C-alpha cells in the first residue's frame, strides 16, 4: 500500500494534476502511515507516535463502550417489550437490533463531521484534522438512542464549525467538541434529550405493565420534592437496592437505560485502562475528578436532606454519564488544564461540580456536561494561577538566597 501511494503522491503535490485534492490525499496517507515529515527545529519535537495514532488509540479505547451500547440498546428494547428478559437471552437479536440503530448514528457523525473538516481543509490547504477522529465517536456515545439522524448531523456541524474551526481547528478549541454538540441539542431540542421517552427504542410497540423508560437519575430527581416517608419515594429507592432495576451491580455492569455508551462502568474502565497504559490520558485528571465527585457525594450523604442526597456515594458515581465523562472528556488534552497541579484542581472541580449540579437541579439531573464545559473555560485560569504561584515561590526563594549570601 505504501508503494502504491508513493507512486501517485507526485500527482497530488504542488504542480501535480490533482494538486487541489492534496489535503484529502495527505489525510488518507497519514492515517495509514506515519508522516514522512520530521521536526528539524523548534521546541515542539514529538516522538514516534503522531497525533493521528494518539486519536485512534482513544477511539479504540471507546470500542468496548460502543459494543456494549449496541447490545444494551437491544437489551433495553426487548426488556421493555417483555422479551429476552435475562441478560444472556437473545444475544444475537439484541446485537442486531442495537446495531441497526446505533451504527447509523456513528456513520452520520463521522460522515458529516469529516465532510465539514474536508471543506475547511480544502479552503485552508491542510489535510483533515485529527481531532474529529475522537469527536466523531464521542458524539454518538453521549446521545440518547432515539436522537433523530438529522439532529445528529446538525449538532455535528455546529460543534465542528462553532466549537472548533472558528478558533483555528484542532488544538485551538476552548471547549470539548463532542460536548458542544450535546449542549447544542440539549438547549435547542430539550424534549429529544431528556424525559422518559428518549432512552429506550420501543418503536411504538406495546410495552409491559410498569414500564416507564426513565433513567436512574431521572427517577432520583423525581424524589427530591417528595416526602422521604411517602410510598412513592420508598418505592423509587427500592429500585436502587440489591435486586432492584438500578442496583449497584446493574449500574456498574450497565444494564440500565441511558445514553448509548455511558451506562457500563466495566466497558468504560477497559477504555480507561488502555488510555492509562499508553499514557495518552492524564491519570491526575481521572483520579482527581473521581475524588471530587466522591467528596461532593459524601457531603450530600452527611446533609441527607432527601433521597437523592442519601444515595450511597459510590453508587452515585456509577450512574449517568459521570464515569464516561471523567475518562473520555474531562481528560481531553486540548481543553483540560496543562500543568500538573492544575490538572489536580481542574479534575477535582469537574467531579465536584458534576455531582453538585446533578443533585441541586432536579430539572437537569445530570451535571457532567455542564461541569466539564464550565471547567474547560476555566482551565486556562487555573493554569495561570498555578504558574503565577510557582513564579512567586521561586522569586521568594531567590530573594532569600540573595539575602543569605
For residues 288-311, average pLDDT: 95
For residues 205-233, average pLDDT: 87
Between CA 184 and CA 341 the distance in angstroms is 31
Q: Give the cell for residue 19.
A: 494538486
Give percent of the chain above pLDDT 70: 84
Residue 51's pLDDT is what? 66
At 127, the pLDDT band (50, 70, 90 cuts) reads: low
- What is the 8-class DSSP label of residue 205? P
Task: Report the candidate in 137, 74, 293, 227 with the shortest Cα–Cα distance to residue 237.
Answer: 227
Cβ neighbours, 10 Å, residue 93: 15
Q: Give the cell for residue 211.
A: 414500564
Question: Does residue 211 or residue 388 have the better pLDDT?
Answer: 388
Between CA 7 and CA 5 the distance in angstroms is 5
Global pTM reads 0.88
At 401, the pLDDT band (50, 70, 90 cuts) reads: confident
Q: Give the cell for residue 187.
A: 438547549
**Distance in Å from the first CA to the final CA of the chain:** 66
For residues 88-94, average pLDDT: 95
Between CA 339 and CA 385 the distance in angstroms is 10
At 48, the pLDDT band (50, 70, 90 cuts) reads: very low
Amino acid at each position: 500500500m505504501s508503494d502504491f501511494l508513493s507512486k501517485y503522491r507526485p500527482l497530488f503535490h504542488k504542480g501535480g494534476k490533482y494538486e487541489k485534492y492534496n489535503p484529502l490525499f495527505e489525510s488518507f496517507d497519514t492515517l495509514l502511515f506515519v508522516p514522512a515529515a520530521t521536526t528539524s527545529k523548534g521546541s515542539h519535537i514529538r516522538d514516534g507516535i503522531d497525533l493521528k495514532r494518539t486519536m485512534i488509540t482513544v477511539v479504540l479505547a471507546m470500542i468496548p463502550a460502543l459494543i456494549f451500547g449496541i447490545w444494551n440498546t437491544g437489551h433495553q428494547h426487548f426488556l421493555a417489550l417483555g422479551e429476552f428478559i435475562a441478560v444472556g437471552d437473545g444475544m444475537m437479536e439484541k446485537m442486531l437490533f442495537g446495531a441497526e440503530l446505533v451504527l447509523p448514528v456513528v456513520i452520520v457523525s463521522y460522515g458529516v463531521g469529516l465532510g465539514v473538516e474536508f471543506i475547511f481543509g480544502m479552503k485552508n490547504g491542510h489535510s483533515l484534522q485529527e481531532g474529529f477522529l475522537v469527536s466523531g465517536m464521542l458524539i454518538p456515545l453521549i446521545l440518547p438512542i432515539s436522537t433523530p439522524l438529522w439532529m445528529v448531523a446538525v449538532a455535528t456541524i455546529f460543534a465542528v464549525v462553532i466549537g472548533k474551526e472558528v478558533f483555528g481547528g484542532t488544538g485551538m478549541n476552548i471547549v470539548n467538541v463532542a460536548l458542544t454538540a450535546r449542549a447544542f441539542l440539549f438547549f435547542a431540542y430539550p424534549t429529544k434529550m431528556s424525559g422518559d421517552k428518549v432512552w429506550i427504542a420501543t418503536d411504538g410497540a406495546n410495552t409491559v405493565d410498569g414500564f416507564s423508560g426513565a433513567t436512574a437519575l431521572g427517577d432520583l430527581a423525581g424524589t427530591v420534592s417528595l416526602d422521604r416517608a411517602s410510598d412513592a419515594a420508598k418505592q423509587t429507592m427500592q429500585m436502587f437496592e440489591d435486586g432492584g432495576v438500578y442496583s449497584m451491580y446493574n449500574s456498574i455492569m450497565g444494564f440500565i437505560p441511558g445514553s448509548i455508551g455511558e451506562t457500563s462502568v466495566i466497558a468504560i474502565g477497559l477504555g480507561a485502562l488502555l488510555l492509562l497504559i499508553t499514557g495518552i490520558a492524564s491519570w491526575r485528571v481521572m483520579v482527581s475528578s473521581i475524588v471530587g465527585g466522591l467528596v461532593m457525594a459524601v457531603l450530600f450523604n452527611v446533609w441527607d436532606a432527601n433521597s437523592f442526597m442519601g444515595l450511597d456515594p459510590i453508587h452515585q458515581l456509577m450512574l449517568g454519564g459521570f464515569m464516561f465523562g471523567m475518562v473520555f472528556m474531562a481528560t481531553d488534552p486540548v481543553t483540560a488544564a496543562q500543568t500538573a497541579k492544575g490538572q489536580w484542581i481542574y479534575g477535582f472541580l469537574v467531579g465536584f461540580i458534576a455531582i453538585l449540579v446533578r443533585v441541586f437541579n432536579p430539572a437537569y439531573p445530570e451535571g457532567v456536561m455542564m461541569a466539564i464545559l464550565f471547567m474547560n473555560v476555566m482551565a486556562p485560569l487555573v493554569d495561570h494561577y498555578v504558574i503565577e504561584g510557582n513564579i512567586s515561590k521561586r522569586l521568594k526563594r531567590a530573594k532569600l538566597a540573595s539575602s543569605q549570601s
